[in-house]
Amino acid sequence: MARPQRIVLVRHGESEGNADDTVYEREPDHALRLTETGQRQAREAGVRLRELFGDEQVSAYVSPYRRTHETFAAFELDQERVRAREEPRLREQDWGNWQDRDDVKLQKAYRDAYGHFFYRFAQGESGADVYDRVGAFLESLYRSFEAPDHPPNVLLVTHGLTMRLFCMRWFHWSVAEFESLSNPCNAEVRILQLGEDGRYSLDRQFERWRVPEPYGITG
């Protein structure tokens, strides 16, 4: 089994929805583009990624949203060294279709009170639903490691919540631990690095906004 030396997760750059949430009333979430700021953020992340990967091969998986495709393109990676594919299971949490701004604000308030993992948007998904499809993607990813020539780098271009849930699934974090962490900023990078002990570690923790509530199973 050729386990990659690193698994790199990147959130998309700033999108039109990040800059102006009224756009969700006119445009589908999946069709939103990067802003000029988002393009700059993605290019800056690309500089770091090109330095990180060097001359090594990369297996890349990109969420099917326009803003993640645009983010990946802005990285300007050497296409001869990158095997890229679209991966729908890495998409954003579904909130529904065209969204009423006031209704979304209300549902987000409910989610904050109820819990981000368990709360399901009326026409969309819960965090638990995203966790399940991330788990299904991980099963496919593990199988890809069986190839003896698997690249030493895996790159996932995705969304903030999906990044946290990927790490929750990989590191077996509790729901309470997940709930205590904030999403990364736009175009932020997290790296799962393979150590000499055969275990992966996260290069930088997600920002914690509260202490996890100590209940239930802890280990």
Q: Name the residues annotated as catalytic.
A: 12, 92
Please give the Cα distance from 100 to 181 (Å, whole number).
Answer: 27
Q: What phi, psi does 168 have (nearest 5°)?
A: -60, -45
Q: Dihedral of the CA atoms 29, 72, 202, 169 (nearest 10)?
A: 40
Q: How many CB atoms lie within 10 A of CB 137?
A: 20
Q: Is 120 helix (H, G, I), strand (E, B) or coil?
A: strand
β-sheet bridge partners, residue 154? 7, 59
